[in-house]
Structure 1
Amino acid sequence: MFTGLSAFPLTPMTEKSIDEPAFLEIVSRLHRAGVDSIGALGSTGSYAYLAGDQRKRVTELAVQAAEGTPVLVGIGALRTADVLRHAEDAQNAGASAVLLAPVSYQPLTEDEVYGLYADVTAELSVPLCVYDNPGTTRFTFSDELHGRITALPNVGSVKIPATPADPQEARTRVQKLRQQIPKNVTIGVSGDAAGAGGLLAGCEAWYSVLGGLWPELCLEITRTAQRGDTAEAHRLSERLTPIWELFGRYGSLRVVAAIAEHMGLIGSPNLPRPLLEFSGTDRAQVDEAVRRVLADTDEVAS
């Protein structure tokens, strides 16, 4: 299941509750669009801000709305005991796979990170995706550590940060990692501006934030890159440059929340405090970026 477009939806919420109807519709849109998998409770899904019972409920809702589309569920937490509990809840709810980042407060060593994945994979009955996200966790995986972890049972994919913009450097990056991990383990790129480039460089999957909101357009990029149409894949991705620029400036979560509100998919407030929704100039920049993209394509309006 770790190939193609994996779309990561928002978890719209207030301080008191999850907006269940809005979340169900967001996930249902992804199923109807035909994404390859759905990544619930990723960073865009605000997993770190939710209590255990809320995470369990979001997983149940995601599986329900996905209607058979494979659901990948984030299980990261500070303590291994909590990760194992989240993994059990995800499996019991019908998740097809789990996603695990080495979340920490105290900086982790390589042996500690390896031990985390060893403990968790030993208890799993579904595949696991390794979430390599140094911008959030402040932990940088070496390729050698990826090799050790992917040799563990039940590891199916590695979600890596954005590949280099230069095509040859991107191919070299993917090839270097590929030499360290088993052939049955896929490599997936994150960092949406690098989605097309990562797929063209040899990644088998694109773990996409914007795919959780504009699945049709991101699927078009994915399928074009999978066909090896380099020029067209880059052209399609470049149409989204106004969005990629905002992701780089503000972070993807706040931007996609503002776009979802602009589209009428969610209300306000919709982010866990202390995170704040955009207003004023910041909100105007998002609205203008959406207008520019819409002017170039009608697909995102669906």
Structure 2
Amino acid sequence: MFHGLSAFPLTPMNEQHVNDREFVNLIQRLVSARVDSIGVLGSTGNYAYLSRMERLRVLQLAVSAAENTPVMTSISALRTLDVLHLAEDAQKAGASAVLLAPVSYQTLTDEEVYLLYEQCTKSLSIPLCVYDNPGTTKFHFTDELHGRIASLPHVRSIKIPGVPSNLEAANVRINNLRELVPSHVTIGVSGDPFAATGLNAGCELWYSVLGGLFPKLCLRMTQVSLKGYSAEADQISTQIEPIWLLFRQYGSLRVISAAAEIMGLISSPSLPLPLQPLNSSARDLLNSFLIEISSMEES
């Protein structure tokens, strides 16, 4: 499952509840588009704002609606004990894999992060993806630490943040990491504005926020890059640049939730407080581009 496009949908919610119907509809759109895997309860899926029981309910809905599409779910939490409980829930609910970032209130050391993954993998019977997300966790993996963790049982992929924008530098980045990571562990790029460069530089898959809403377009960009048509992948990414600009300025979650609201796929409000939606000027910019990107999705 760790190849191609892994699409990360929103978890539509307000202060009272998760909207089950809207969430299932988002999952069904991804299944219809034939994405390679679905990543629920990631950062885009608002896992950090949900209780254990809410996370389990969302995962159960996803697994049920995903049919034969593999579902990966986040098990990230502040305490290792909670991570282990979430891992147990994920396995019982039928998840195909788990995603783990080293989130913490206190700054973690390399050894503490290694022990987190070591303890977690001991309790797993399904694959694990390492989530390297320094923008959120404030923890910076070294390539050496990635190599140590990637050698643990059940580790099958690393979700890295954005790569250098220059393709040559991105190639060096991926090659350096690949030298330290076992061959059975894939390297996937996140940070959507960097996706085309990351794929062209040798990443085997794209962990995509935009793919959770526009799966056909993102699947097309992924596939052409993996087939060696790097210029075509770059062209598609350039066409989406207005979205990338909004991602950089306002954060992908706010932008993608506003897009889903504008498209009528989810109701408003759709973010947990204290998060606030896009301001009106940014929303107008997004609205003006959604017509074009929706056309690209269906072409």
Question: Which bin holds the TM-score, normalised by the shorter protein?
Answer: over 0.9
- The secondary structure found in structure 2 opposite 1:72 is strand
SS in 1 for 2:38: strand
* Structure 1 counterpart SS, 2:259: helix
SS at match of 1:141: coil
Partner of 2:123: 123
What's the counterpart of residue 92 of structure 2?
A: 92
Q: Distance in 1 between matches of 2:287 and 2:268?
A: 16
CA deviation after TM superposition for structure 1 residue 278, in Å: 2.2
TM-score by length of 1: 0.97
Does residue 165 in structure 1 map to residue 162 in structure 2?
no
Aligned partners of 2:216 and 2:298 also within 8 Å: no
Partner of 2:297 in structure 1? Answer: 300
Count of paired positions: 299
Q: Partners of 1:124 and 1:258 in 2: how far apart?
A: 36
Structure 2 counterpart of 1:15: 15
| Counterpart residue type for residue 157 of structure 1 | S
2:186 equivalent in structure 1: 186
Distance 1:230 1:21 in 2: 38
CA–CA separation in structure 2 for the residues paired with 1:81 and 1:231? 46
Q: Structure 1 residues 279-288 or 81-90, which shifts more?
A: 279-288
Contact kept? 1:242, 1:293, Cα under 8 Å:
no
Rounded Cα–Cα distance in structure 2 between residues aligned with 1:279 and 1:147: 42
TM-score (norm 2): 0.98
CA distance in 2, matches of 1:239, 1:107: 39
Runs of 5+ unmatched residues, structure 2: none
Q: Distance in 1 between matches of 2:189 and 2:252?
A: 15
3-state SS, counterpart of residue 179 of structure 1: helix
> CA offset at residue 292 of structure 1?
4.4
- Taking only aligned residues, the RMSD between alpha carbons, in angstroms, comes to 1.0
CA contact (8 A) 1:242 1:292 kept: no
Output the amino acid matched with 1:33: A
Partner of 2:208: 208
Q: Is the 8 A contact 1:6 1:211 kept in 2?
A: yes
Distance 1:274 1:286 in 2: 22
Q: Which residue of 2 aligns with 1:221?
A: 221
* Structure 1 Cα separation of the partners of residues 158 and 281 of structure 2: 37
Within 1, Cα distance between the matches of 2:296 and 2:176? 36
Report Cα offsets for 1:22-52 as digits up to 9, x if no partner: 0000011001100000000000000000000
Match of 2:45 in 1: 45
Query: Identity of aligned pairs, percent?
Result: 58
* Structure 1: gaps (5+ residues): none
Compute the displacement of 1:300 (Å). Answer: 2.7
The aligned amino acid for 2:278 is F
Q: Deviations over 1:155-208 (max 9, x none)?
A: 000000111111110110000000011000000000111111111100001000
Partner-residue secondary structure (3-state), 2:202: coil
Q: Report the 3-state secondary structure (helix = DSSP H, G, I; strand = E; otherwise coil) of the residue aligned with 2:73.
A: strand
1:69-88 map, 5 Å:
69-88=69-88
Report the CA distance between 1:301 and its aligned residue. Answer: 5.6
Q: CA deviation at 1:279?
A: 3.8
Q: 1:301 to 1:274 in 2, by over 3 A?
A: farther
- Residue equivalent to 1:60: 60
CA contact (8 A) 1:150 1:182 kept: yes
